Structure 1
Protein backbone atom coordinates (compact mmCIF):
# COMPACT_ATOMS: atom_id res chain seq x y z
CA UNK A 1 0.00 0.00 0.00
CA UNK A 2 1.30 3.44 -0.95
CA UNK A 3 1.91 5.21 2.39
CA UNK A 4 2.25 8.51 0.54
CA UNK A 5 -1.34 8.11 -0.70
CA UNK A 6 -2.58 7.30 2.80
CA UNK A 7 -0.84 10.38 4.21
CA UNK A 8 -2.28 12.55 1.43
CA UNK A 9 -5.81 11.29 2.20
CA UNK A 10 -5.23 11.88 5.92
CA UNK A 11 -4.14 15.45 5.14
CA UNK A 12 -7.08 16.08 2.78
CA UNK A 13 -9.56 14.71 5.36
CA UNK A 14 -8.20 16.84 8.20
CA UNK A 15 -10.67 19.75 7.69
CA UNK A 16 -13.59 17.32 8.11
CA UNK A 17 -12.52 16.55 11.67
CA UNK A 18 -12.96 13.29 13.52
CA UNK A 19 -11.78 11.06 10.65
CA UNK A 20 -10.10 7.84 11.73
CA UNK A 21 -8.20 5.52 9.42
CA UNK A 22 -7.96 1.80 10.19
CA UNK A 23 -6.27 -1.05 8.36
CA UNK A 24 -8.76 -3.63 7.15
CA UNK A 25 -9.35 -6.11 4.31
CA UNK A 26 -5.88 -5.51 2.94
CA UNK A 27 -6.66 -1.80 2.69
CA UNK A 28 -7.50 1.17 4.87
CA UNK A 29 -11.00 2.20 5.97
CA UNK A 30 -11.98 5.83 6.52
CA UNK A 31 -14.35 6.32 9.47
CA UNK A 32 -16.28 9.19 10.95
CA UNK A 33 -18.46 8.78 14.03
CA UNK A 34 -17.86 5.03 13.86
CA UNK A 35 -19.25 4.72 10.32
CA UNK A 36 -17.06 3.74 7.37
CA UNK A 37 -17.43 6.28 4.57
CA UNK A 38 -14.45 5.37 2.44
CA UNK A 39 -11.94 2.66 1.74
CA UNK A 40 -8.55 2.55 0.05
CA UNK A 41 -7.81 -0.76 -1.68
CA UNK A 42 -4.95 -1.40 -4.12
CA UNK A 43 -4.11 2.32 -3.98
CA UNK A 44 -7.60 3.33 -5.12
CA UNK A 45 -9.91 5.50 -3.00
CA UNK A 46 -13.61 4.64 -2.90
CA UNK A 47 -16.42 6.51 -1.13
CA UNK A 48 -19.66 5.01 0.22
CA UNK A 49 -22.74 5.53 -1.92
CA UNK A 50 -26.46 5.01 -1.45
CA UNK A 51 -29.62 5.67 -3.45
CA UNK A 52 -29.33 9.38 -2.70
CA UNK A 53 -25.74 9.81 -3.90
CA UNK A 54 -25.11 7.03 -6.44
CA UNK A 55 -26.23 9.17 -9.39
CA UNK A 56 -23.35 11.61 -8.76
CA UNK A 57 -20.81 8.83 -9.12
CA UNK A 58 -22.64 7.23 -12.05
CA UNK A 59 -22.70 10.57 -13.92
CA UNK A 60 -18.90 10.48 -13.89
CA UNK A 61 -18.70 6.75 -14.73
CA UNK A 62 -16.91 6.01 -11.44
CA UNK A 63 -16.83 2.24 -11.05
CA UNK A 64 -18.00 0.42 -7.94
CA UNK A 65 -15.70 -1.40 -5.57
CA UNK A 66 -15.98 -5.14 -5.88
CA UNK A 67 -14.05 -8.32 -5.34
CA UNK A 68 -14.22 -11.98 -6.23
CA UNK A 69 -15.32 -14.17 -3.32
CA UNK A 70 -13.76 -17.56 -2.61
CA UNK A 71 -16.81 -19.09 -4.30
CA UNK A 72 -15.85 -17.31 -7.53
CA UNK A 73 -18.86 -15.02 -7.28
CA UNK A 74 -18.34 -11.30 -7.97
CA UNK A 75 -19.35 -9.19 -4.94
CA UNK A 76 -20.05 -5.49 -5.53
CA UNK A 77 -20.19 -3.24 -2.50
CA UNK A 78 -21.80 0.17 -1.95
CA UNK A 79 -18.58 2.10 -2.58
CA UNK A 80 -17.54 3.89 -5.77
CA UNK A 81 -14.22 5.14 -6.97
CA UNK A 82 -13.41 8.76 -6.13
CA UNK A 83 -12.67 11.08 -9.05
CA UNK A 84 -8.92 11.53 -9.58
CA UNK A 85 -9.27 15.31 -9.18
CA UNK A 86 -9.92 14.92 -5.43
CA UNK A 87 -6.17 14.45 -4.97
CA UNK A 88 -5.38 17.77 -6.67
CA UNK A 89 -8.14 19.93 -5.20
CA UNK A 90 -8.82 19.84 -1.44
CA UNK A 91 -12.28 21.39 -1.94
CA UNK A 92 -13.22 18.59 -4.35
CA UNK A 93 -11.99 16.03 -1.83
CA UNK A 94 -14.25 17.55 0.84
CA UNK A 95 -17.28 17.56 -1.48
CA UNK A 96 -16.91 13.90 -2.41
CA UNK A 97 -15.94 12.79 1.10
CA UNK A 98 -19.06 14.48 2.47
CA UNK A 99 -21.17 12.49 -0.01
CA UNK A 100 -19.55 9.35 1.41
CA UNK A 101 -20.12 10.48 4.99
CA UNK A 102 -23.75 11.30 4.21
CA UNK A 103 -24.32 7.84 2.73
CA UNK A 104 -22.65 6.20 5.74
CA UNK A 105 -24.78 8.18 8.18
CA UNK A 106 -27.99 7.48 6.28
CA UNK A 107 -27.21 3.75 6.30
CA UNK A 108 -26.98 4.00 10.10
CA UNK A 109 -30.51 5.44 10.19
CA UNK A 110 -32.11 2.45 8.47
CA UNK A 111 -34.45 0.61 10.81
CA UNK A 112 -33.18 -2.74 11.93
CA UNK A 113 -35.33 -5.84 11.86
CA UNK A 114 -37.09 -6.55 15.09
CA UNK A 115 -36.17 -9.91 16.56
CA UNK A 116 -38.79 -12.58 16.07
CA UNK A 117 -40.97 -13.33 19.05
CA UNK A 118 -40.22 -16.71 20.60
CA UNK A 119 -42.71 -19.33 19.61
CA UNK A 120 -44.34 -21.67 22.11
CA UNK A 121 -43.22 -25.27 21.86
CA UNK A 122 -45.77 -27.76 20.60
CA UNK A 123 -47.93 -29.02 23.43
CA UNK A 124 -46.92 -26.22 25.78
CA UNK A 125 -49.96 -24.03 25.19
CA UNK A 126 -51.99 -23.62 28.35
CA UNK A 127 -55.72 -23.43 28.25
CA UNK A 128 -57.07 -20.09 29.48
CA UNK A 129 -58.86 -20.23 32.82
CA UNK A 130 -62.30 -18.61 33.06
CA UNK A 131 -62.36 -15.44 35.13
CA UNK A 132 -63.61 -15.59 38.71
CA UNK A 133 -67.13 -14.18 39.01
Structure 2
Protein backbone atom coordinates (compact mmCIF):
# COMPACT_ATOMS: atom_id res chain seq x y z
CA UNK A 1 0.00 0.00 0.00
CA UNK A 2 1.43 3.37 -1.01
CA UNK A 3 -0.25 5.26 1.82
CA UNK A 4 -1.00 4.72 5.47
CA UNK A 5 -4.70 4.55 6.39
CA UNK A 6 -3.84 6.52 9.54
CA UNK A 7 -2.14 9.25 7.51
CA UNK A 8 -5.10 9.35 5.12
CA UNK A 9 -7.41 9.83 8.10
CA UNK A 10 -5.17 12.62 9.43
CA UNK A 11 -5.16 14.43 6.07
CA UNK A 12 -8.93 14.12 5.77
CA UNK A 13 -9.36 15.57 9.27
CA UNK A 14 -7.01 18.43 8.41
CA UNK A 15 -9.09 19.15 5.30
CA UNK A 16 -12.44 19.28 7.12
CA UNK A 17 -12.46 23.09 6.91
CA UNK A 18 -12.32 22.89 3.13
CA UNK A 19 -15.84 21.54 2.98
CA UNK A 20 -17.17 18.26 1.70
CA UNK A 21 -14.61 16.31 -0.29
CA UNK A 22 -14.47 12.76 -1.51
CA UNK A 23 -11.55 10.45 -2.04
CA UNK A 24 -10.97 7.28 -3.99
CA UNK A 25 -8.15 4.83 -4.38
CA UNK A 26 -6.14 5.13 -7.56
CA UNK A 27 -2.79 3.73 -8.71
CA UNK A 28 -1.82 2.63 -5.21
CA UNK A 29 -2.69 6.01 -3.70
CA UNK A 30 -5.71 8.18 -3.12
CA UNK A 31 -7.17 11.06 -5.13
CA UNK A 32 -9.02 13.94 -3.40
CA UNK A 33 -12.04 15.49 -5.12
CA UNK A 34 -14.34 18.44 -4.55
CA UNK A 35 -17.48 18.67 -6.66
CA UNK A 36 -16.13 15.76 -8.72
CA UNK A 37 -12.91 17.60 -9.61
CA UNK A 38 -9.54 16.22 -8.49
CA UNK A 39 -7.47 18.81 -6.63
CA UNK A 40 -4.95 16.63 -4.81
CA UNK A 41 -3.66 13.19 -4.07
CA UNK A 42 -1.80 11.10 -1.56
CA UNK A 43 0.81 9.04 -3.38
CA UNK A 44 3.74 7.18 -1.83
CA UNK A 45 2.83 8.73 1.52
CA UNK A 46 3.16 12.29 0.18
CA UNK A 47 0.33 14.78 -0.19
CA UNK A 48 0.30 16.59 -3.54
CA UNK A 49 -1.90 19.48 -4.66
CA UNK A 50 -2.83 20.69 -8.13
CA UNK A 51 -0.87 23.78 -9.20
CA UNK A 52 -1.06 26.35 -11.96
CA UNK A 53 1.22 29.14 -13.14
CA UNK A 54 0.16 31.34 -10.21
CA UNK A 55 0.63 28.78 -7.42
CA UNK A 56 3.59 26.70 -8.67
CA UNK A 57 6.22 29.34 -7.71
CA UNK A 58 5.28 29.12 -4.00
CA UNK A 59 5.78 25.34 -4.02
CA UNK A 60 9.13 25.74 -5.78
CA UNK A 61 10.19 28.53 -3.40
CA UNK A 62 9.60 26.14 -0.52
CA UNK A 63 11.71 23.43 -2.19
CA UNK A 64 8.80 21.14 -3.05
CA UNK A 65 9.02 18.68 -5.93
CA UNK A 66 6.49 17.80 -8.59
CA UNK A 67 4.75 14.45 -8.40
CA UNK A 68 6.84 11.71 -10.03
CA UNK A 69 5.84 8.17 -10.89
CA UNK A 70 7.16 5.06 -12.56
CA UNK A 71 10.36 3.04 -12.38
CA UNK A 72 12.17 5.82 -14.18
CA UNK A 73 10.35 8.66 -12.43
CA UNK A 74 8.41 10.81 -14.83
CA UNK A 75 7.55 14.18 -13.32
CA UNK A 76 4.03 15.52 -13.51
CA UNK A 77 4.44 19.30 -13.03
CA UNK A 78 0.73 19.92 -12.45
CA UNK A 79 0.86 18.38 -8.94
CA UNK A 80 3.41 19.34 -6.28
CA UNK A 81 4.26 18.09 -2.80
CA UNK A 82 2.58 20.02 0.01
CA UNK A 83 5.02 21.20 2.72
CA UNK A 84 4.70 19.37 6.04
CA UNK A 85 4.25 22.62 7.98
CA UNK A 86 1.23 23.42 5.79
CA UNK A 87 -0.30 19.96 6.32
CA UNK A 88 0.05 20.36 10.09
CA UNK A 89 -1.80 23.71 10.11
CA UNK A 90 -5.51 23.20 9.32
CA UNK A 91 -6.14 26.81 8.35
CA UNK A 92 -3.13 26.95 6.04
CA UNK A 93 -3.98 23.59 4.52
CA UNK A 94 -7.51 24.80 3.84
CA UNK A 95 -6.14 27.92 2.09
CA UNK A 96 -3.77 25.82 -0.02
CA UNK A 97 -6.56 23.35 -0.86
CA UNK A 98 -8.72 26.26 -2.04
CA UNK A 99 -5.91 27.37 -4.36
CA UNK A 100 -5.44 23.80 -5.60
CA UNK A 101 -9.16 23.54 -6.35
CA UNK A 102 -9.03 26.88 -8.19
CA UNK A 103 -6.09 25.54 -10.23
CA UNK A 104 -8.10 22.42 -11.04
CA UNK A 105 -11.03 24.58 -12.17
CA UNK A 106 -8.72 26.65 -14.36
CA UNK A 107 -7.24 23.48 -15.87
CA UNK A 108 -10.72 22.14 -16.59
CA UNK A 109 -11.61 25.30 -18.54
CA UNK A 110 -8.57 24.98 -20.84
TM-score where L is the length of structure 1: 0.75
Is 1:80 matched with 2:80?
A: yes
Larger-gyration structure (1/2): 1
Provide the aligned length of Structure 1 versus Structure 2: 107
Is 1:102 matched with 2:102?
A: yes
Ranges in structure 1 where 5+ consecutive residues have no aligned partner = 111-133
Give every structure 1 segment of 4 or more consecutive aligned residues whose post-TM-superposition deviation is greater than 3 Å: none
In structure 2, how many angstroms separate the alpha carbons of the residues matched to 1:18 and 1:109? 22
Match of residue 89 from structure 1:
89
Ranges in structure 2 where 5+ consecutive residues have no aligned partner = none
**Of the two structures, which has the highest relative contact order with CA contacts closer than 8 Å and spacing of 6 or more?**
2
Contact 2:17 2:90 survives alignment (8 Å): no
The equivalences for 1:44-63 within 5 A come to 44-63=46-65
> C-alpha deviations, 1:28-50, integer Å up to 9, x for none?
00001111110101111000111
In structure 2, how many angstroms separate the alpha carbons of the residues matched to 1:43 and 1:68? 15
Match of residue 2 from structure 1:
4
TM-score where L is the length of structure 2: 0.89
Bigger helix fraction: 2
Is 1:22 matched with 2:24?
A: yes
